[in-house]
Structure formats: structure tokens, C-alpha cells
A and B are shown apart, each in its own frame.
Chain A
Amino acid sequence: MKRNTLYLAAAAAAVLAAALPAFLGAYPLNVARSVMTYMALAVSWDMLLRSGQISFGIAGLFGLGSYASALLVLRAGMDPAMSLVFATLFTGALAFTIGFAVLRLRAMYFSITTLALAEIFRIVLHNLHDFSGGPEGVVLPGVIFGGDTRALYWLCLGGLAITLGVSWYFEKSKLHLALTAIRNDETSARSSGVDIFRYLLIAFTITSTLQGMMGAIQVQSYGFTTPETAFDANFTLLPLAMALLGGIHSTLGPMAGAVLLGIASEWLKLKIPYGHLVVYGIIIVLVILLMPRGLVGLARKRRTGRGA
């Protein structure tokens, strides 16, 4: 019964999200796209975190997806919609290859290496002037779907839906058990027959693919990219903050964090035009300090407390 209620709530939320363009104007839909993009990145980051691996490579893979999609359109003459698929697959394939090297590392060595990925990709694209446009980036002939606000919203929603679906699968399948076992104690997991490298490679490849997909959607929605835009550190830092605020190791936590921080950011900007970023930063620091388990963790604690 409880599970059925949950599925019904999820279905209702999905229908509501899909129907939003019927009620909202261009500006709220634009803000919603931004929130959904960060939400997908936060959830995908959390999916790998469930194995205990802290990746700082979100911006790198997001940017890679952006550039792959833009260059497929510009250099290979591919249809923008097709470029989304191929850019996503390209990011996944590259992540699979890189995974063989970086997943031999653990803890901060893994984190630092993933952080370096974004910088390496950025520098490479900076220097491939004739191919990537160098520091000035590339401008596409147009925005996908002719820039139609509703279509762009649904495209982004589609990307988010795929991410949430995969995350849900991560939570419900045996993958969840394997990743949790790896996080809790790698040695015990290995002695229990868990193929650690295989599971980590699967998780790293899938989460990277999702991040690349969101990058591809982003570039087709704005019609241009530059190394500084595509590999902006905010694409790493904000999803982390959102996941920490909402609560890690779940799908719901990063979602809640993304909604709250995404809307708070826009609201603060309109209310405090000068200095809103300072207030925003203070809120993030305070929330993380005072609620280390995030909103979902806090809710669970209260529920457990009440039950006891």
C-alpha cells in the first residue's frame, strides 16, 4: 500500500511536471530548466557516491557532452536531435575508457583525478582552435526546436526523467546492494564475491553518460558554447551543494536540494540584486554545517524519533 502510494505520487508529479508549460510563461520555464539541469547532475553525482567514490568530474563530463553535441552539428553536419544521442554515447564510451584508469584509484586520489579531468578537457578544447573554436568557442546555426520554450522545457525534462529513472533503478536493483557493500567495506564486499571494479565501472560510465547527456541538452538549448561556459566549476560545485543540502545516498535528497537551492538562488537575485551571491553562499554553508545529513536525513530522523 505504501509503495503504491509512492508510485502514485511519483506519477502525479511526473504528469504535473510535463503539464507545467500549459500554466507557466517563458521565464519560469527557463528557471525550471536550470533547476532540472542541476537536479540531474546532483542525482547522477549521488549515484556514484553511493559506492563511496567522490567524483569532482561533473563539469568535465558535462562540458564534454556539450562540445561533442555542438561539434557533431557543426563539423559532421548532424541533426541537432541526433547529436544529443551520439554525444551522450560518446561521453559514455570515453568515460568507460577513462574508468579503466581512474577506478584503480580510491578516496582523495580518485577525487583529485576526476577534478583534473575537467581541466584537461578544457585545456585540450582551448588549444584545438580550428576544430573547437579555441577560447572563443562555437556558435551553432540555431537553437534546437527553433528555440520554442515549451519544447526546450520538455527536452530538459526528458533528460531529467531518464536520470531519475536510472537512479531509481540503481536504488532498487542488486546494483544498490553491490555499491552499498563497496561503500561500507571494500574488503568485505570483495570477500563476499562482489566484483568491485566491474560495479564501479558500470556506475562511473552510467553517471558520466548522464552528465554528458545534460551537457548536450544544455548546448543545444542555448546555441553556443565556450570552454569557460561548458567546463564552469559551478557545474561541479552546485550539484554537490544541492545533494548535500537535500541528503545524499538517495534520489529524493538531491532532488529536494536542487529545487530549494535553484529557486532560492533566483528568488534571492530578484530580492537582493546587489549581494545575493553572498547571502546564497552563507545559506549553503549554514545548511551544510547545521544539517550534515541534509533535509531527507533530517526528515528521517524526525520520523524515527516520533516512532520511538
Chain B
Amino acid sequence: MKRTFVALALIAAAAMAFGQGTIKIGATWPLADITGKQGSMAAQQAVDEINKAGGVLGRQLELIVIDDELKADKGAAAIEKLVTVDNVDLIIGGMSSGVALGQVPAMKKYGKVVVATGAASSTVEAALGADADWYFHLHPWDYNQGASYAQGWDEIQKKYPNVKIKKIFLAYEEGAFGKASFDQTKILFGAEGRYQIDGAPFKSAALGGGDYGSVLEAAKMYKPDLFLWAGYDADALPMLEQAKAMKFSPGIYLGAPPGWPVGFGTSRLSENVMLYGMWAPSINEVSPVSKKFYDGFVAKYKAEPATYFAPLSYSAVYIVADAIKRAGSTDTAALIKALKETKYESPLGQTVTFTPAKIIKNQGIKNQKILQWQRGRQEVIWPFESATAKPVYPFPKW
């Protein structure tokens, strides 16, 4: 009788453990884009690493990724599926602000914990509102980025007196991303007349454009000390080629796409081009976490991470896994409380914590980095504590 009872108890315990199953992490990214493709790959890498180390709370993690196709309606449908069909415990991911805007109503409806890796436009923050305490935003907002760059250039000019910037020209893709970048640049760099700002839009090659003649001509006439373009990876090489053809050589040639084309560094045109970003392989030299991420990614996928969305998405998985462990469950309220106390040393070369932004309560990273392509590598120029090289200035004449 006693033996039967023990056996039944063991079976019941096993059934309960089995019933608990995996901890499901739902994710949406644009999988046809390098940011979403590598972001989802890096998230899977993190899931595999955590599972190999025993999982979380004795349970394995399961990542369910749906392609948002860079479309708002598809992104919203993906959230509906993840929550109502796949019954995920929480959601991570995202890249485009337009898709995030489409997803916000569904996210609000379900109130699941979201750790967002994308959406820089502050329009998304306005749509979320102050009550969205379940929303944890890892990527900096547009105004965070602008403030960070302004601080970065001030500090670089102070440390390297030969770098002199007064006139800035911004070539921006005509969509929401580019326009928001221009608006923030005008506000943050133009304040107190410190810098003179001008700019013009262009149609990105990613959206059917690719002719930068007029915008580069306008920039050349303005004679900027710093030329900045805000567009997509597809614009990087054609714009440089056209700038070379026009012999346009500003003091600083700087790009701010969310990701760079694979192999951009192998082009001779890339030499000394500066960029805004959150991560580069060179950070491996100053961050063991970055090196662990990088080596793992290369070993698993036989390719180098080409966008900061890879370490950012990798970080998102580790952050939620750590929060679940501290919360002791996937209960939303407990998870929110644990996430608020996050202190994660990320492969991005900085420790991630969540603090209030202008509207939302949980903002992760607030600053970006200023980098430069040197001998085919992205070197960190600023912040100085994670710098891997000195800036090459001015941008050499063609």
C-alpha cells in the first residue's frame, strides 16, 4: 500500500513537472532584414546557452519567432498568435517603429511582459503611455540617441582639439525613422546655437530609391564639418560611391543605419567612415561578455554578427531569463518587479538597468556609441571607457 502511494506520488510529481513544460518566449522580428535575421539567431543562441546550463527554474526555454514582415498588420497578428495560440509567457523583439505602433493595441489588450529590442521613434512611447509598466524598452529612443551623440561630439572635440565641428548636414531617408532623426538632431545640436544644422531628405534604396545626387549636392554646397546620413544598410555603399564621384569630402563622413551591409568593411570606400551604433566586434577586446557572445555566434552560425540587434536580442533573452529566476515564476506582476531590478552586464559593453524615460517607466539603454571603420573593423571612438581606437580625422580626400 505504502509502495503504491509512493509510486503514485512520484508519477504525480513527474506529471506536474511535465505539465509545467517549457518557458515560452515569443518574439517578432523582420526576418528578411539583417537586423531581424541576426537578432532572432542571437536570441536562439542565448536560449541554447541557457538551456545547456540547465534552463531556468528547472525548465527549458523555448523561443517562438514570427516574422513581422516589416508590416504593422502582420506584426499585430503575430502578437495575437503568440499570446492566444502559443500561450507564451512573455514577448521580446521588434525592430521597426511602424510595426511597433501596429502592435501596441494588441500588447495593451493582453498586458504581457514585453522586452522590446527595437522601436526608436518616440511616437511609440507616446502610444504606449505612462501606464504600460509591462513594457521594457532596451533600445534608446530617438531623443536618447540625439542627446548621446551631442554629448559624444562635445567630449571628442574636448579630447581631440584638432576635431572641429560647427556645421552639420543631415541627409535623412524620407520616412519616419529619418525624419525623427533630423528633428532630434535639430533640437539637440541646434540648442543655444552651438551648431549650425541643415539637412535634406532622400528616398532610401531599401524603399525603391538609390539616387543621392541632389541630397549630396546640397550637402556639398553647405560645406559641412560633419556629414551624417540616416537611412538603411542598402544606402551605405551607393551613397559613398556617389559621394566619391562628386568628390564630396566632409571633415567627418558618418552613417547611422540600424545595420551595415555584410562585408561593408571589405570595401575600400569604408575606410574612416564613422558610424553610430551600439556594438562592434572590437568591443570583444574590452568586454568578456561581448567576446563570449561573439565567439558563440560565429561558432553556431559560421558568420559574423553584422548588426547591434544581434547582441541586443541576445541580451533580451538573458535579461528575461535572469528576471524569471529572481521572480521564481513567470507570473506577470512578479516578472515586472524582477525586471525593474535588472542589472545585466551585456555584450554591448555596458550594464543594462531600467530607469524612467520621458513617458514610460522602464527604459534600458539610453546612449549609443560613436565608432569608425578602420582597416575593415568597426572601432569604438566614444565613449572613451570602451574605446578601442583613436579617431582618424579628417575624413581623407578622395
Report A's interface with B, CB cutoff 8 A.
Answer: 25-27, 30-31, 33-34, 126, 134-137, 139, 142-143, 147, 149, 218, 222-224, 226-229, 232, 234, 266, 269-270, 273-274, 276-277
Stretch in B173-181, B192-200, B217-225 touching the partner? B173-181
Q: Quick check: A135 and B174 within 8 Å, CB to CB?
A: yes
Q: Quick check: B176 and A228 within 8 Å, CB to CB?
A: yes
Q: Which residue of A lies closest to B180 (CB)?
A: A136
Indicate whether B123 reaches chain A with its CB closer than 8 angstroms. yes
Can you sample 12 A-B contacts with CB below 8 Å?
A25-B84, A26-B83, A126-B174, A135-B179, A136-B176, A147-B109, A222-B72, A224-B101, A229-B102, A234-B71, A269-B74, A274-B31
Stretch in B61-69, B239-247, B270-278 touching the partner? B61-69
Residues of chain B within 8 A (CB-CB) of A31 are: 77
Please measure, in the bound complex, the distance between the C-alpha atom of A6 and the C-alpha atom of B179, giving whole angstroms: 53
Q: Quick check: B80 and A228 within 8 Å, CB to CB?
A: no
* Shortest Cβ-Cβ A-B pairs, 6 listed: A135-B179, A27-B81, A27-B80, A30-B77, A224-B101, A136-B176
Residues of chain A within 8 A (CB-CB) of B348 are: none
Please measure, in the bound complex, the distance between the C-alpha atom of A273 and the C-alpha atom of B29, giving whole angstroms: 10
Please measure, in the bound complex, the distance between the C-alpha atom of A166 and the C-alpha atom of B377, giving whole angstroms: 61
Indicate whether B73 reaches chain A with its CB closer than 8 angstroms. yes
Residues of chain A within 8 A (CB-CB) of B83 are: 26
Within B84-142, the residues touching A (CB, 8 Å) are 84-85, 98, 101-102, 104-106, 108-109, 121, 123, 126-127
Q: Quick check: A273 and B67 within 8 Å, CB to CB?
A: yes
Contacts beyond the supplied A33-B73, A137-B101, A224-B104: 7 A-B pairs with Cβ under 8 Å: A25-B84, A26-B80, A26-B83, A135-B175, A139-B123, A273-B66, A277-B32
Please measure, in the bound complex, the distance between the C-alpha atom of A274 and the C-alpha atom of B301, giving whole angstroms: 14
With A135-B178, A136-B180, A228-B98 in contact, do A274 and B109 touch (Cβ < 8 Å)? no
Indicate whether B186 reaches chain A with its CB closer than 8 angstroms. no
Residues of chain B within 8 A (CB-CB) of A30 are: 73, 76-77, 80-81
Residues of chain B within 8 A (CB-CB) of A269 are: 66-67, 69, 74
Please measure, in the bound complex, the distance between the C-alpha atom of A33 and the C-alpha atom of B74, giving whole angstroms: 11
Please measure, in the bound complex, the distance between the C-alpha atom of A228 and the C-alpha atom of B71, giving whole angstroms: 10
Q: Report the minimum CB–CB distance from A31 to chain B (whole Å).
A: 6
Please measure, in the bound complex, the distance between the C-alpha atom of A266 and the C-alpha atom of B123, giving whole angstroms: 28
Q: Quick check: A134 and B69 within 8 Å, CB to CB?
A: no
From B66, B81, B84, B105, A222 is in contact (CB under 8 Å) with B105
Q: Which residue of B lies closest to A147 (CB)?
A: B105
Q: Quick check: B176 and A34 within 8 Å, CB to CB?
A: no
From A27, A134, A222, B179 is in contact (CB under 8 Å) with A134
Residues of chain A within 8 A (CB-CB) of B325 are: none
Q: Quick check: B67 and A276 within 8 Å, CB to CB?
A: yes
Q: Report the minimum CB–CB distance from B24 to chain A (whole Å).
A: 15
Indicate whether B262 reaches chain A with its CB closer than 8 angstroms. no
Please measure, in the bound complex, the distance between the C-alpha atom of A223 and the C-alpha atom of B123, giving whole angstroms: 12
Residues of chain A within 8 A (CB-CB) of B31 are: 273-274
Please measure, in the bound complex, the distance between the C-alpha atom of A234 and the C-alpha atom of B208, giving whole angstroms: 13
With A223-B104, A234-B71, A277-B69 in contact, do A136 and B77 touch (Cβ < 8 Å)? no
Between A143, A229, A266, the greatest number of chain B beta carbons within 10 A of the residue's beta carbon is seen for A229
Between A149, A224, A234, the greatest number of chain B beta carbons within 10 A of the residue's beta carbon is seen for A224
From B104, B108, B176, A137 is in contact (CB under 8 Å) with B176
Residues of chain A within 8 A (CB-CB) of B37 are: 274
Within B38-89, the residues touching A (CB, 8 Å) are 40, 65-67, 69, 71-74, 76-77, 80-81, 83-85
Please measure, in the bound complex, the distance between the C-alpha atom of A276 and the C-alpha atom of B74, giving whole angstroms: 14
Q: Quick check: B84 and A136 within 8 Å, CB to CB?
A: no
Q: Quick check: B66 and A228 within 8 Å, CB to CB?
A: no
Q: Report the minimum CB–CB distance from B208 to chain A (whole Å).
A: 8
Residues of chain B within 8 A (CB-CB) of A34 are: 73-74, 77
Q: Quick check: B176 and A135 within 8 Å, CB to CB?
A: yes
Q: Report the minimum CB–CB distance from A43 to chain B (whole Å).
A: 19
Q: Quick check: B84 and A26 within 8 Å, CB to CB?
A: yes
Indicate whether B207 reaches chain A with its CB closer than 8 angstroms. yes
Residues of chain B within 8 A (CB-CB) of A224 are: 72, 101-102, 104, 123, 127
Residues of chain A within 8 A (CB-CB) of B81 are: 27, 30
Q: Report the minimum CB–CB distance from B115 to chain A (whole Å).
A: 20
Please measure, in the bound complex, the distance between the C-alpha atom of A222 and the C-alpha atom of B98, giving whole angstroms: 11
Please measure, in the bound complex, the distance between the C-alpha atom of A136 and the C-alpha atom of B179, giving whole angstroms: 7
Q: Quick check: A222 and B102 within 8 Å, CB to CB?
A: yes
Please measure, in the bound complex, the distance between the C-alpha atom of A113 and the C-alpha atom of B294, giving whole angstroms: 51
Residues of chain A within 8 A (CB-CB) of B76 are: 30, 222
Residues of chain A within 8 A (CB-CB) of B123 are: 136-137, 139, 224
Q: Report the minimum CB–CB distance from A8 to chain B (whole Å).
A: 33
Please measure, in the bound complex, the distance between the C-alpha atom of A274 and the C-alpha atom of B175, giving whole angstroms: 26
Residues of chain A within 8 A (CB-CB) of B69 are: 269, 277
Please measure, in the bound complex, the distance between the C-alpha atom of A308 and the C-alpha atom of B66, giving whole angstroms: 49
Residues of chain A within 8 A (CB-CB) of B65 are: 273
Please measure, in the bound complex, the distance between the C-alpha atom of A134 and the C-alpha atom of B31, giving whole angstroms: 28
Residues of chain A within 8 A (CB-CB) of B178 are: 135
Please measure, in the bound complex, the distance between the C-alpha atom of A273 and the C-alpha atom of B44, giving whole angstroms: 14
Q: Which residue of B lies closest to A139 (CB)?
A: B127
Q: Quick check: A232 and B71 within 8 Å, CB to CB?
A: yes
Q: Quick check: B67 and A226 within 8 Å, CB to CB?
A: no
